[in-house]
Amino acid sequence: MFLSIKIAVAVGLLIAGSDCNAEPLSPRGEVSLHTPLLLKSVHESDDKHLVQKFILGDPNLSLKTVVEVYATNPAGSTLAKRDSPPQSPKEDRPIDLTPSTCTSQVCYSGTFQIPQKTDCDAIVAAQLYNSTGSLRSFPGMYVLVYAGTCVVVFQNPIGKPEYTHTLDYNWAKLGTVILDIQKKCNNPDDQSIGGACKIDHYLKFNFKNVLISLQRYVAPTKARSDS
């Protein structure tokens, strides 16, 4: 089954606003983070398709945590069917990114509504207490984990060959990263609307725009026609 202990994911960063409080956390960390993508660029893009949608954690809760996994179509390819397993380079062994730390962090400020803390807390609880195993993120895949007004994103976009890696990332560790972003960016005086953690290197590996982000969820304006 495509989604059991490990899930093929990678996520698009979806924050609108201007960055503030950018902070490098390692000597090689970048202060300036990648310009955030709009949520509709994942939901409505012609070069991305939904490959999986499921509930994370307890399906009986009134506030459910939903996961949507999107894949980027290779150039010249036909649209893959929904729920079909993603294709990964066979020679590329997954890198367990779980022990890594953020090399840069940023809070985003703006005039948009912030995600409700209770909604974000529901996502964290689902990741920490109601999930096991790790995400498996193939190049070009995006995952949206959302509940109510809050969405968490893990992004591993397609880049140059030297930046193209398949990544494993533990669900519970993802929850702790979101808690850290909440603590850093939950400041009403800064009008923070979310934040992001960037991982640009780990051990001998370098990455391009691998991001974990937190922002307000905005539902798509039109339904996908993926089949």
Bridge-based pairing state of the strands 95-96 and 167-170: parallel
The residue with greater pLDDT, 36 or 93, is 93
Cβ neighbours around 109 below 10 Å, total: 19
Give backbone dihedrals phi and psi of 29, rounded to 5 degrees, phi first. Answer: -70, 145
What pLDDT does 169 receive? 93
**Alpha-carbon torsion 121, 86, 225, 3, what sign?**
negative
Identity at 212, one-letter amino acid code: I
Of 75-84, 158-167, 194-203, the least confident: 75-84
| CB burial of residue 223 (10 Å; 0-12, 13-18, 19+) | exposed
pLDDT of 9 strictly over 50: no
What pLDDT does 189 receive? 66
- The DSSP line for 104-156 is EEEEEE-SSPPPPHHHHHHHHHHHHHS--SEEEE-TTEEEEEEETTEEEEEEE
- Break the chain down into helix, strand, coil percent, rounded to 5: 15, 35, 50
Tell me the per-residue pLDDT of 33-87, one tens digit each, with 9 for 90 and over.
544 457 888 888 888 999 999 999 899 999 999 999 999 887 544 334 444 455 5
Whole-angstrom Cα distance, residue 58 to residue 46? 32
Confidence of residue 114 (pLDDT cuts 50, 70, 90): confident
Mean pLDDT of 116-121: 94
Bridge-based pairing state of the strands 201-202 and 205-206: antiparallel
- Please report, rounded to a whole number, the percentage of residues in the chain having pLDDT higher than 90: 38
Those residues whose C-beta lies under 8 Å from the C-beta of residue 43, and which sit 6 or more positions away, are 220, 224
Bridge-based pairing state of the strands 104-109 and 192-198: antiparallel
Confidence of residue 109 (pLDDT cuts 50, 70, 90): confident
Burial 175-189, CB ≥16 within 10 A → b, else e: bebbebbbebbbeee
